[in-house]
Amino acid sequence: MLNNFPLWPDQASTMASRVDALYIFLLLVTGAMALLVFACVAFFAARFRHRPGVRAEQIEGSNALEITWSAIPFLIFMAIFGWGAFVFFQERTPPADAAEVYVVAKQWMWKVEHAEGQREINELHVPVGRDVKLIMTSQDVIHSFYIPAFRIKQDVLPGRYTVEWFRATKPGVYHLFCAEYCGTQHSGMVGSIVVQQPADYEAWMNGASTGPLSASGEKIFAELGCSTCHRSDTQGRGPNLQGVFGKPVQLDDGRTVTADENYLRESILDPGSKRVKGFQPIMPTFQGLVSEEQVNDLVAYIKAISLSKPINGAKTSANRAVSGDSSDTEGQTPPLPSGSKVQ
Amino acid sequence: MQNEAGADGLTAVHEHHGEAHAAHNPALLHHFAAPEQQRDAASLGMWVFLATEIMFFGGLFCAYLVYRRWYFPSFAAASKSMDAGLGATNTAVLICSSLTVVLAVWAAQTARRTLLIGSLILTMIFGLAFLGIKGKEYRDKFEEHHVPGVSFSFENVPVPGHPGEYANPRHAQIFFALYFVMTGIHALHMIVGLGIFAWLLTMSWKGRFSPQWHTPIEIGGLYWHFVDIIWIYLFPLLYLIDRHA
Amino acid sequence: MQPTIPHPMIPQPVFPEAAEQKNYLNEKYGAWSWLMTTDHKRIALLYLLSITFFFFIGGFFALLIRLELLTPAGDLVQADTYNKLFTMHGMVMVFFFLIPSIPAVLGNFLVPMMIGAKDLAFPRINLLSWYLYIIGGALMMHCMLTGGVDTGWTFYTPFSTGFTNTKIVEAGIAIFIAGFSSILTGLNFVVTIHRMRAPGMTWSRLPLFIWAHYATSIIQLLGTPVIAITIVLVAAERALHLGIFDPKLGGDPLLFQHLFWFYSHPAVYIMILPSMGVITEIIACFSRKRIFGYHFVAFSSIAIAVFGFLVWAHHMFVAGISVYSALVFSFLSYAVALPSAIKVFNWTATLYKGSIHYDAPMLYAFGFLGLFTIGGLTGLFLSALGIDVHVTDTYFVVAHFHYIMVGGAVMGYLGGIHFWWPKISGRLYPEGWARLAALIVFIGFNLTFFPQFLLGYMGMPRRYYDYSHMPEFQILNVMSTAGATILGVGYLLPMVYLLWSMRRGKPASENPWNAAGLEWKTASPPPTFNFDEEPVVTWEAYNYDELDAPHKEEVPVAK
Amino acid sequence: MSEHAKSSPLKMYFGIWITLLFLTYLTYRVAAVDLDPFNAAVALTIATVKATLVALFFMHVWHASEKLTKLVIVAALFFLLLLLGLTMTDYATRLWS
Ligand code: HEA
Ligand code: HEA
Ligand code: CUA
Ligand SMILES: [Cu+2]
């Protein structure tokens, strides 16, 4: 598992080389600065060591020097800041068409649900060359989903979703760590990321599956009676949920918010806090009635009916892309997985 | 007490502390050169302490600001359940106590013993009245089950100005949590203030203060006014969110 | 006057000429005269004792941590025990050792003397703050002995408020009380520096040590109250389930982090600024020079204190704050690095054309320069957003802050203790041993913490007690553990020879280093009210040209 | 701080006192009036006026204090604003909630 270069972590995602480039730049710049300082100190200490009869020369200071050694470091700092911010931006902006994986953290394990329905514990299988977006939440305390070989990390919070994404570039098995201290078995909350060639991945995919998340979501949607209010016509007491995901929503208090995953989640668990304009506050809260996994299923379902026109949870956009259905070229569907696109 | 010898010829007999000043001012501590220095130090010390107090309450104001933005409807509903009349009365009580404090300082400056003692007593009475009213409000909240915890209940309370909408009990509970922490800590400061004023009262009774030296009254007064100012903010923030309609 | 009964705790003079001198140490005897003292110098010694105690407690935990990490498997202690170990290590080291260390020991001892005052402005408050420290410390000890805490020193919610059943509230109260002690120390310094300066001691004649302490006090005064109220909220949340930090009840766990770091980031400057002050004095003295760019060094201390309040969320880049906010805080983190850079450059420039002596304090100062620079520069890595995402919560961070806190702040503290030891104790320490100790500390330190940078970039998360899934991390961990034992020896050595020197060391003259500064113009050890007559300052700070003027004899510096 | 040279400041003290009581009454009444977005602003402005009056006249910041006192106050308020303001850079720009 170790690369041929010891003391250096594997580079297995598109982000890894970008972070490493910045890191090496910083090593060089700060190394040069440190060497400069140390060389001056060492040279002065040797050259001006005390000799009997030789007195120190008093120097008050020099504004020109002070300005120089404030301005130059400042410029260097700004370069570092800018570059760091740039990389961060990429880290924080998942491509719109990434495949989605739901992650639920709990003391002390990772539960992973692929949009297609595969469930894993402390493992995550992904194909090479494919953008994957993790939609994560925690059942209890704060955890952090860390894959050193991908150079990505994101805290996983209870009560909301956080998101991170990557595109794996090298098949292999990589460490998954929980990086935020979460209690007794924090150091046991580790697992593996299995990056596979698309063909292997598909073979794995076709193994046992309980059906897509959106399908379970559809079932729950009916069981909990959501569908009594949210109907696909305009007769319901609640808004029609088709096409809501990703769109701006006008709220009763005048604000407009984008219906992202967190919004859907909040609408289910805490409907009162953001009320859609023109509707009565009649939706009951489902806090405590649904598990984190069920919320994920519902969110996946609502997203599915937003993204693809025919509402039959069995065939979601995400599902189609993974199974290699290349006929769908619409903007919202993910690109093809292709082993040859490994960078 | 006395240091006879330094390591070298610098040695000189240290002036025996305080004696020269002791005549006017028994309270001059001997590491100070002059009474003014001592008074200025004390007053600066109190001001700096008040600066730390601002930050102490600042943490609470920060939490308040965050949740008020998030949960405005429930905060408004919860705020409306408060007795603003009592809150306003308490504000007035504190303002009166600030007046008597400032009178006490003035009395000390101008050597008016009766006024000094009277003002201090009045201040304490106002302070106690404030705590009494606060106590009654706490009891009311307790009876209404508005104290956060297992017995908390805030069901079906309408949001002011939004007919048909009800406060979210969980959000209202955060309001009440902040309410109790903020007013509780404020009340704790009042109790400390009462202790300080009880001490000032005994000192005044014994005639310890003079127009030359009454620093404790001044800095005790600063503290009291500060606690008053905190309340001046707590009142609108807690009692007057969206009260109309 | 009390009869002079020899006290076993107090070193008795061995030399007859010293026997006659009255000083703060021998003026009164008996435990009571120490416990009830309002003399800032005696209070400093009380702090010295208690802080040393906590340093060894914290160090003891560190050794256990390192032993556990010697092997990948979690074999020495249980998982919960390990979690308590690093928590108590962090809490003790931060709140009961490093934050009070230099201010409460050297600052207490020197601030009044350096500005020509007889004492701090509020001597009784000063004593009170020691008692608060002791009460807080006792509570912390009690907490540790009856089970301890396992949240990490950062107390993150909702783990601390709802998921652990260890003694959070008790530890919180202990830190609350110690925080109060810290506030009172800062308050005393600010008022003293404003009100008690001797005639002629203008702001630009103040030693830079004073400027550093002034800046430190600002942070103590304005930052500490926020952690205090945060602790109150955590305790209340834990006891009553208010929901302020609990997402299940509508609260936001990140609010806790904001409030916590609003104090705890500036707090790291409480730890480093006084050390910078010490280093400045040492460098000036042992290069026999006025500090290069006095005003820049002075104002950079204030700038660090103020900017220090602007950067706290750089500890939260991956915690879930908004991207915009992360950008702002990353940018501001670079703003706070600038004044530190200015200091490093000015220290270096001070050496230029100096007359440099290699006494032990100066060796510590060199060590500080090197290690602080490395620690600080790695701070730049952490505040670069793109890199922090990878290295946050790994050993990279652990290495970063140990480089600054142990390599920087503790080095400065030890350097300062050596530098002023003649003044404090009236005795000289053995120079050869001291140089050896400085060398051992430097080597041991680097061996301990440099490998952790590599570990961190390789991805080893912090607060892991068991790394059996990643045995590739072992070699570096073994190096680190080996270093820690060397480091431990390096810290024990000064303990031994400094204690030894209290009885056996050569008596120190008034000014053994021929150093500038008012504290050197009175006896060693000083009399109770510091000066026999109120000093009047007519010279500039760091007037080494006058001290070394040729008409005077060359003053022997190295022994 | 104390200025006993001056004539009796009692009138001023009582004047401030009446003003403060009036402002309390005002803030209480104005809260019942619908000023839609401005209710909070008005309430806080009144509170600030009151606090300023107490500080300036009852705490003698206006007449008897040296600059340093003012500096301490301004510094404390500045840091309070930093705490609130920089925290809001996060809360005001989060995409969620
Ligand atoms: C005394 C303690 C101390 C000090 C002084 C500092 C100083 C700095 N720290 Fe550090 N830090 C800690 C103690 C300290 N830190 C601790 C304890 C933690 C972890 C807490 C925890 O999670 O448990 C931490 C964590 C920490 C983090 C969060 C890491 C994470 O958890 O993800 C960050 C991120 O920005 C950071 C940055 C900085 C920066 C930029 C400085 C700057 O102030 C450094 C400035 C100094 C220099 C830059 C060096 C000298 C300059 C030059 C020689 C100039 C020339 C250079 C160039 C031109 C390139 N620190
Ligand atoms: C001032 C601060 C300070 C200091 C001085 C130190 C000193 C040391 N620290 Fe610590 N450290 C922290 C502050 C500090 N640390 C903080 C804040 C954390 C984070 C905690 C958290 O995650 O919550 C941390 C975490 C931390 C970790 C990470 C734990 C983890 O994440 O799992 C490690 C691991 O190596 C470590 C090691 C050390 C070592 C080897 C020393 C050495 O320098 C210590 C050397 C001293 C000695 C070895 C003492 C010598 C004494 C004896 C030999 C006598 C024996 C004792 C008795 C008889 C009682 N520290
Ligand atoms: Cu989960 Cu650490
Ligand atoms: Cu920081």
pLDDT tens-digit readout, A9-44: 999 999 999 999 999 999 999 999 999 999 999 999
Average of per-residue pLDDT across C165-172: 92
pLDDT tens-digit readout, C356-415: 999 999 999 999 999 999 999 999 999 999 999 999 999 999 999 999 999 999 999 999
- Top residue of B56, B67, B102 to mutate, by most chain D CBs within 10 Å, is B102
Helix residue spans in B110-167 (DSSP H):
113-143
The number of domains in chain C is 1
Which pLDDT belongs to residue A308? 60
For residue C304, the ligand closest to its alpha carbon is 1
* Band of residue C551 on the pLDDT scale cut at 50, 70, 90: low
Cβ distance C205 to C541 under 8 Å?
yes
For residue A141, the ligand closest to its alpha carbon is 3
Q: Which of C269, C315, C402, C491 most suits a substitution to test ligand 2, by most atoms within 8 Å of the C-beta?
A: C402
* Band of residue B225 on the pLDDT scale cut at 50, 70, 90: very high
* Band of residue B235 on the pLDDT scale cut at 50, 70, 90: very high
Q: State which residues form the domain around C440.
A: 35-548
Q: Which residues are registered as beta bridge partners of A166?
A: A132
Q: Which of A37, A41, A65, A151 most suits a substitution to test ligand 1, by most atoms within 8 Å of the C-beta?
A: A37
Ligand 3 contact via A176 beta carbon (within 6 Å):
no
- D83 in C contact zone (CB under 8 Å): yes
Q: Which residues are registered as beta bridge partners of A101?
A: A114, A134
Cβ distance D55 to B225 under 8 Å?
yes
List chains adjacent to chain B, taking adjacency as at least 3 C-beta pairs closer than 8 Å.
Answer: A, C, D
Which pLDDT belongs to residue C429? 95
Q: Which residue has the higher pLDDT, A315 or B113?
A: B113
Cβ distance C157 to C73 under 8 Å?
no
* Band of residue B160 on the pLDDT scale cut at 50, 70, 90: confident
> How many helices and strands in chain B, by DSSP H and E?
7, 0
Q: Which residue has the higher pLDDT, B167 or A176?
A: A176
Ligand 3 contact via A181 beta carbon (within 6 Å):
yes
Atom of ligand 3 nearest to the CA of C463: 2
Is B33-239 CATH 3.40.190.10?
no
Within 48-87 of D, beta carbons closer than 8 Å to B belong to: 50-51, 54-55, 57-59, 68-69, 72-73, 75-77, 79-80, 83-84, 87
pLDDT surpassing 70 at residue B17: no
Which pLDDT belongs to residue A266? 85
Q: What is the mean pLDDT of chain A?
A: 83
**C8 falls within a domain:** no
* Band of residue C427 on the pLDDT scale cut at 50, 70, 90: very high
| CA-based nearest residue to B77, from B206, B10, B189, B166 | B166
3-state helix, strand, coil in chain D (%, to 5): 70, 0, 30
pLDDT surpassing 90 at residue A253: no
**C24 falls within a domain:** no
C351 by Cβ neighbours in 10 Å (0-12 / 13-18 / 19+) ranks as: buried
Residue B77: its H or E element = helix B72-80
Which DSSP category does C69 fall into? T
Cβ distance C495 to C84 under 8 Å?
no
pLDDT surpassing 80 at residue C3: no
Under an 8 A CB cutoff, do D47 and B55 touch?
no
* Band of residue C515 on the pLDDT scale cut at 50, 70, 90: very high
Which residues touch B68 (CB under 8 Å, ≥6 apart)? B75, B241
- A247 in C contact zone (CB under 8 Å): no
Ligand 2 contact via C434 beta carbon (within 6 Å):
no
Report the length, in residues, of chain A: 343
* Band of residue C144 on the pLDDT scale cut at 50, 70, 90: very high
Q: CA C333 to CA C379: how far, in whole Å?
A: 9
**C7 falls within a domain:** no
Q: What is the mean pLDDT of chain D?
A: 87
Q: What is the CATH number of the domain that holds C102?
A: 1.20.210.10
Atom of ligand 2 nearest to the CA of C484: 40
Q: Which of C332, C382, C391 most suits a substitution to test ligand 1, by most atoms within 8 Å of the C-beta?
A: C382
Which pLDDT belongs to residue B166? 83
Which pLDDT belongs to residue A242? 83
pLDDT surpassing 90 at residue C296: yes
Q: What letter represents residue A315's amino acid?
A: K
Which DSSP category does C553 fall into? P
pLDDT surpassing 50 at residue C559: no
CA-based radius of gyration for chain D: 18
**C415 falls within a domain:** yes
Which pLDDT belongs to residue B4? 32
* B38-47, C391-400, D28-37: least confidently modelled range: D28-37
Which pLDDT belongs to residue C56? 95
Which pLDDT belongs to residue C16? 45
Under an 8 A CB cutoff, do B229 and D55 touch?
yes
Which pLDDT belongs to residue C557? 39
pLDDT surpassing 80 at residue C13: no
Which pLDDT belongs to residue A286? 84
Cβ distance B169 to B155 under 8 Å?
yes
Which pLDDT belongs to residue A209? 67
pLDDT tens-digit readout, C437-482: 999 999 999 999 999 999 999 999 999 999 998 888 999 999 999 9
Q: Which residue has the higher pLDDT, C31 or C411?
A: C411
DSSP E strands in C154-295: the ranges are: none
pLDDT tens-digit readout, A206-241: 876 677 888 888 888 888 888 888 877 766 788 888
Ligand 3 contact via A188 beta carbon (within 6 Å):
no
Average of per-residue pLDDT across A101-116: 91
Ligand 2 contact via C79 beta carbon (within 6 Å):
no
* Band of residue C552 on the pLDDT scale cut at 50, 70, 90: low
Residue ID of nearest Cα to ligand 1 atom 57 = A73
Average of per-residue pLDDT across C14-24: 61
The whole model's pTM is what? 0.90
Q: Which residue has the higher pLDDT, A152 or A329?
A: A152
List chains adjacent to chain C, taking adjacency as at least 3 C-beta pairs closer than 8 Å.
Answer: A, B, D
Q: Which of C378, C397, C449 most suits a substitution to test ligand 1, by most atoms within 8 Å of the C-beta?
A: C397
**C17 falls within a domain:** no
* Band of residue B162 on the pLDDT scale cut at 50, 70, 90: confident
Ligand 2 contact via C535 beta carbon (within 6 Å):
no
Which pLDDT belongs to residue B25? 57
* Band of residue A2 on the pLDDT scale cut at 50, 70, 90: very low
Ligand 3 contact via A189 beta carbon (within 6 Å):
yes
Backbone φ and ψ for B151, nearest 5 degrees, come out as -90, 10
Which pLDDT belongs to residue C374? 96
Domains of chain B by residue range: 1-31, 33-239
Q: Structural domains in chain A?
A: 1-42+66-210 (2.60.40.420), 213-323 (1.10.760.10)
Which pLDDT belongs to residue A96? 87
Q: CA C531 to CA C305: how far, in whole Å?
A: 32
Q: Which residues are registered as beta bridge partners of A135?
A: A102, A163
Kindly list the residues from chain D whose CB atom is less than 8 angstroms away from the CB atom of residue B58.
Answer: 79-80, 83-84
User: CA angle B55-B61-B67, nearest 5°?
Assistant: 150
**C276 falls within a domain:** yes
Tally A–D CB contacts below 8 A.
13
Which pLDDT belongs to residue A208? 65
Ligand 2 contact via C410 beta carbon (within 6 Å):
yes
Average of per-residue pLDDT across A109-120: 89
Please report the ipTM that was assigned to this predicted complex: 0.90
* A317-321, B187-191, B223-227, C51-55: least confidently modelled range: A317-321
Residue ID of nearest Cα to ligand 1 atom 60 = C379
Which pLDDT belongs to residue D33? 84
**Token pair in block for residue C176:** 């609350």
Secondary structure of residue A133 in the 3-state scheme: strand
What percent of chain A is modeled with pLDDT above 70? 87
Within 273-302 of A, beta carbons closer than 8 Å to B belong to: 273, 275, 280-281
For residue A184, the ligand closest to its alpha carbon is 3
- C352 in A contact zone (CB under 8 Å): yes
**C215 falls within a domain:** yes
Tally A–B CB contacts below 8 A.
15
Average of per-residue pLDDT across C470-499: 94
Ligand 1 contact via C218 beta carbon (within 6 Å):
no
Ligand 1 contact via C369 beta carbon (within 6 Å):
no
Which pLDDT belongs to residue A214? 83
Q: Which residues surround the ion ligand 4 when the cut-off is CB under 5 Å?
A: C 265
Q: CA C85 to CA C62: how far, in whole Å?
A: 8
Within 1-20 of C, beta carbons closer than 8 Å to B belong to: 1, 20
**C558 falls within a domain:** no
Q: What is the mean pLDDT of chain C?
A: 91
Cβ distance C40 to C108 under 8 Å?
yes
CB atoms within 10 A of CB C71: 17
Give residue B148 CA to ligand 3 midpoint distance, Å. Answer: 30
Within 2-31 of D, beta carbons closer than 8 Å to B belong to: 2, 4, 8-10, 13-14, 16-17, 20-21, 24-25, 27-28, 31
Tally B–C CB contacts below 8 A.
155
Average of per-residue pLDDT across A73-96: 94
